[in-house]
Amino acid sequence: MRTFWSLALWLTLVAGMAMASGGSKPPPPSTSNPSMPSGSTDSQASGPRQEAERTYALAYDEMTKAKEDLEKGKAKNAGKKFKKALEHAEHATALDAEYHEAWNLVGYCARKLGDYDKAFASYEKCLSIKGDYAPAREYLGEAYLEKNDPKKAREQLVLLEKSGEAQEEAARLFSAIEVYEKAHPEAAAPAAPTTPATPVGTDAAAADSTGH
């Protein structure tokens, strides 16, 4: 079972590297507090949110180290660090359920570990909080590609392209889709034409001609 899990993890991680946007990663920790009420100061910020931001920073650090290990071909070490990053990111969302960046990071780490159910749910949660959060849409599109659903990936690309502030994310997802379609030509090929319908009366006319 352990051998199978390791192989599955390796294949998942390699698949992530194969994506054209594989060099991208969630945004770094922010010192801003988007959930703070207007007019509030940092000293008035809620304790849970501040703790969530510190926990997010720990998750981000582990995720960065995991990507470095992955680039060096150390898949096993990368998997361990992604797991730690996931634990920290989930703790951040437990501290502040409206922390959309943390939900995005949960989705990213879960996807790298092959847990697509958690990844999809986390990306959707992130976007339910902040629907125009471009990184989550980009990663959601990549996740759909990894699950062989290019149609839904293109839907995310359309949403990114409609945003005037998501050009980089749209470009990376577009490149990832191109890579996928080159590897899966059938995904980009137009639907096969249907057999033209026989005009009404043709068969009868043919029968009459053969009967004379």
Q: What is the pLDDT of residue 185?
A: 87
Q: What is the pLDDT of residue 36?
A: 32
Express each pLDDT in 16-37 by its tens digit.
434 444 446 677 766 444 333 3
User: Could you tell me the CATH number of the domain that includes residue 174?
Assistant: 1.25.40.10
Does residue 127 lie in a domain region? yes
Does residue 197 lie in a domain region? no
Q: Where are the alpha helices (DSSP H) in 96-149?
A: 100-112, 116-129, 134-146
Range of the domain at 177: 2-21+47-185
- The CA distance from 188 to 180, in Å, is 9
Look at the pTM and tell me if it is higher than 0.75.
no
Express each pLDDT in 102-137 by its tens digit.
999 999 999 999 999 999 999 999 999 999 999 999
Mean pLDDT estimate for the chain = 79
Does residue 31 lie in a domain region? no
Q: What is the pLDDT of residue 55?
A: 96
For residue 201, pLDDT beyond 70: no
Does residue 199 lie in a domain region? no
Does residue 151 lie in a domain region? yes
Does residue 53 lie in a domain region? yes
Q: Give the residue among 80, 61, 67 at the shortest CA–CA distance from 17.
A: 67
Domain count, the chain: 1
- The CA distance from 48 to 40, in Å, is 16
